[in-house]
Structure 1
Amino acid sequence: MSNKKKLLIIGGTGYLGQHLLQSISESDKSFDFNLSMAFTYHSSPPSHLLLQSVPQAIHFQVDLQTGQGFDSISRTFGQPDVVVNCAALSIPRVCETDPTVAMSVNVPSSLVKWLSSFTTSDTLLIHLSTDQVYEGTKSFYKEDDETLPVNVYGKSKVAAEEYIIANWSNFAILRSSIIFGPQTISPVSKSLPVQWMDNVLAKGQETEFFHDEFRCPVYVKDVVNIIQISSNRWISDGKKMRLLLNVGGPDRLSRVQMAEVVARVRGYDTSLIKPVSASSIDRGVKSPADISMDISKLIQTLDFTPTSFHDGVKLTINNLT
C-alpha cells in the first residue's frame, strides 16, 4: 500500500460517491497513478452489490458530527493523498427544520481536524459545495460574487467553505449545481431529476413544472471527471491548490425546459408539461430563483469540456433501456 497513492471518499454510499467509486473501479486510466481506495458511510452499511463492484476499496463507518471513526482510518489506511468530501445533509427542507444538525454535518470540522492530526498537511481536500450559496437574483454567478444564501442549507455550505479556507491549505471547493445522471450500482433512495421527469411524463398525465427557477444541471460523470483531473494535477505536480470553482453544466434551464428536453429525447407529448411559478408551491423552505453559474473558470482552469443537458439526458435514458 505504501507504494500507492491513497484516495478517501467521504460519503461513498451516496449518489456522487458511488459514481466516483464505480468510475475508478472500471477504468485503470481514471488516475495517472496506482491507487489504494477507501470510503466512508454513516448510518447504513454499504450494500453487498456495492462491495462486489468495488472489491479493492476498504470501507469505514464515520460520524462527521463527532469525528468518531476517523481513528480507525488512521490505523488501517493511513493518511490519504486525496480526500473527496461528498457527504452532506443536502435536502434544503430537512436543513431548515434542524439548522444545528445541518451545520454540524455540512461544516467538515471533524474531517479537517483529523487531517490536521497528521505530521504533514499535504492531503488535497476536494469538497463538494453548492450553487445555493448564491442569492439567486441574477443570472450566471461568478465565483467571486457575494454569497448570500436564502436558506439554511446554503448558509451551512458557505460556512463549510469559510471553514476550509481558514483551516486547510490544500483544497478544491466545487460549487455544484443539480447533479443528474444514471442510477447508482446500489440504488439511492432520493429522487433523481431526469428519472423522475421521465417517470411522470411516461404516465401521460399533465404535470406541473417551475418556469421561473433557473439552474445549470451538471452531468454526474462530468463531476467525477473534474475530481479526477484535480487529483491528478495535485499528485503530478505537488503544488498546493486553493481552488474555488463553479461546477455546473453549460445550459441555464428552468424545470420546464429540463422536462421539455426529457420529453423530446423520449418522444413524449410536451403539452403534458404545465408551467407554474415556483412561488405557487410551499416547499417549506425558501428557494433561490436564479442561481445559474458562469463556468468559464472551470473550463479554463481544468481544460474541461462540459456535457450539455441534452446529451446528458440521452446518456441517462440509454442507461434506463
Structure 2
Amino acid sequence: MGEGERKRVLVVGGSGYLGQHLLAAGGEVGVDVDVAFTHHRDTPPQRLLDALPGLRAFRVDLRSGDGLHAVSDSFGQPHVIVNCAAISVPRQCETDPAAAMATNVPTSLVTWLLSFGNDNTLLIHLSTDQVYEGVKSFYKEDDETLPVNMYGKSKVAAEKFIIEQCSNYAILRSSIIYGPQTISPVAKSLPIQWMDSVLSQGQQVQFFNDEFRCPVYVKDMVDVVLSLTKSWLADGNAVQVLLNVGGPDRVSRLQMAESVADVRGYSHSIIKSVSASSVDRGVASPPDISMNITKLTQMFGIKPISFQDGVRATLAAEAST
C-alpha cells in the first residue's frame, strides 16, 4: 500500500442489513478512508445516500460481474472488500440452487480482485453458522462442515473457493444478526422486531423450543469488521482467518421470544412452545448450530453483548426512531 495514499473500502451488498450498518459506522475507520458500496437493484437507497453524503454507490451484478470494472475505473482497487451480498433465505436457496451458488460463491468478485495482480486487498467475507450440521452444541471453527441445506452448501463452497484463491481473507461465520432497523429500512423481517410485533397483539404464537443459535447483535458484528479493517489498513500484515461470530448465549427461538416478552412486559402465556419438527418449512434446518466464540474474543478482545442486553438495545433504538 502506498504511503499517504487514501485508503478505499468497498462494501459489497451495502444496501442490505449488515451492509447499511457497516456503512453507517464507516466514519470510525478513519478520516483518510473513502467508502463505496455496491447494490443489486437499479438504484441505490436514496435515504442511505442522503444520510451518508460521502458515499459512492455502484450497481453490480455479482453473478456476472457486470459493474465491477466501473468500480476499479472510478474508485480504484479497494484495500478492503467486505462481502455481505448473498441469497440468505434458506428456502429461496432450496428452490433455486443454481441462483444460490451463483450469488453466494463470489466467483466474479474474486476474479476481479485477482485481476489487480497484487496482495494489497483484504477480502472480509460473511459466511454462516449454517455450514455446520447442527447435531451438537458450540461448534468450533475446525469442526467438520456438513450443511443440511442448499444455503449452507453454497456458503461452504464459497469458503473453499476463497481459501483456495485469495492471499488475504477473513471469513466470518455469522449467526442470526439482529439489532435496530437500517437507515433505509430493509424489506426482510428483522427477528426481534417481528417477535415484538406478533407478541404485542396478545394472541398465542408458536416458537420452536429445539432449534438453537447464538444470535449476534449487529454492532458487535460491525466491530469485528472494523477491527479487521483498521488493523489491515494500519499494517497490511497477511491475514488468513476463519472465525465464528456469534453472541455469548445459546438460545432457542422460544427463549428469544421469552426475552422479548421480558423486556416488553408481555405475558409468557401467549408464547407456545413447539418442536421444529411440527412445521414443514420446505427446507431442512440444523437443530443446534450454536458456536464456540473463544477464538473471536481472544483475537479481538471483543466480548459480544448478551442476548437480553441486545434485545433491550434493539427495542430501545426502535422506540427512539
1:287 to 276, 285, 288: 285
In 2: Cα distance, 1:79 partner to 1:248 partner: 31
2:80 paired with 1:78: no
Shift of 1:53: 1.0
2:14 paired with 1:12: yes
1:235-262 deviations in whole A, cap 9, x for unaligned?
1121111000000000000000000000
Q: Counterpart amino acid of 2:9?
A: L
- The alignment's C-alpha RMSD in Å is 1.2
Moved over 2 A (4+): none
Shift of 1:119: 3.1
For 2:256, the equivalent position in structure 1 comes to 258
For 2:218, the equivalent position in structure 1 comes to 220
Shift of 1:23: 1.5
Shift of 1:125: 0.2
For 2:141, the equivalent position in structure 1 comes to 143
1:128 to 126, 129, 134: 126
TM-score scaled to structure 2, two decimals?
A: 0.97
In 2: Cα distance, 1:68 partner to 1:121 partner: 23
In 1: Cα distance, 2:52 partner to 2:159 partner: 30
Shift of 1:303: 1.3
Shift of 1:44: 4.3
Shift of 1:115: 0.6
2:269 paired with 1:267: no
Q: Residues 133-282 of structure 1 correspond to what in structure 2 (within 5 A)?
A: 133-282=131-280
Gap regions ≥5 residues in structure 2: none
Q: Counterpart amino acid of 2:284?
A: K
2:52 paired with 1:54: yes
Q: Counterpart amino acid of 1:21?
A: L
1:120-139 deviations in whole A, cap 9, x for unaligned?
12100000000000000000
In 1: Cα distance, 2:191 partner to 2:104 partner: 22
Shift of 1:33: 5.7
In 1: Cα distance, 2:82 partner to 2:46 partner: 23
Q: Counterpart amino acid of 2:258?
A: E
Shift of 1:34: 1.6
Q: Counterpart amino acid of 1:166?
A: E
In 2: Cα distance, 1:315 partner to 1:120 partner: 42
- DSSP 3-state at the match of 2:81: strand
For 1:101, the equivalent position in structure 2 comes to 99
For 2:29, the equivalent position in structure 1 comes to 31
Shift of 1:47: 2.0
User: CA contact under 8 A between 1:4 and 1:33: conserved in structure 2?
Assistant: no
Identity %: 61
Gap regions ≥5 residues in structure 1: none
In 1: Cα distance, 2:117 partner to 2:156 partner: 28
1:175-209 deviations in whole A, cap 9, x for unaligned?
00000000011110101000000001100010000
Shift of 1:159: 0.2
